[in-house]
Amino acid sequence: MTAVAIATFDSEGAWLRARTRARAADHRILGEWLPYASAAIGPGEGEKGILAGALAGGALGGLALFALECWSAVFAYPIDSGGRALLSWQAFLPAPVEFAALTAGIGGVVMLFVRARLTRLHDAAFDFDEVAQASRSAFVLAIGCDAEQAHAVVEMLVDAGATHSRVIEP
């Protein structure tokens, strides 16, 4: 991939047609910018990573605190209190459950920042004028292609209803 075909659309319908045609032709969509959230992108694409991060954070946090409680009660500072067992796991459960909920929330927020790419201070996409228009009134689609395919991809975008399109070659 040595070129990027970028196109601007006035309506969501034209943008959706171009997106569908690009996926049908097995072109790689590099970026989609819209003035509002669209149901066409589909719910759940970004949520899967966030849920996985929350699940991993909760499981690791809860297990780590439970392991710390077990280690400290059995090995680090064993106290024989009335002949009870040193490893009384039933008494150890409330704190790890609450800590798992806390670390699940932290893991979900961290994955939200990662999936939304909020950890980057600058995105090269904002160097293009088309992306600045997308925040106001335009729909923008960027497709990665080879240099020899670039003009065919631009024609496909124009046929779908693009008002402005161009090829960017690095």
pLDDT for res 46: 56
Q: Which helix (H) or strand (E) holds 4?
A: strand 3-9
Task: Give dist(CA 129, CA 14) in Å, integer.
Answer: 19
pLDDT digits (tens, 9 = 90+) for 111-136: 988 887 787 777 777 777 787 777 77
Per-domain residue ranges for the chain?
Answer: 3-37+124-168
Q: Which of 1, 25, 7, 30 is nearest to 167 (CA)?
A: 7
pLDDT digits (tens, 9 = 90+) for 72-87: 999 999 988 888 889 9
What fold does the segment set 3-37+124-168 form as a domain?
Alpha-Beta Plaits (3.30.70)
Strand, helix or coil at 141? strand
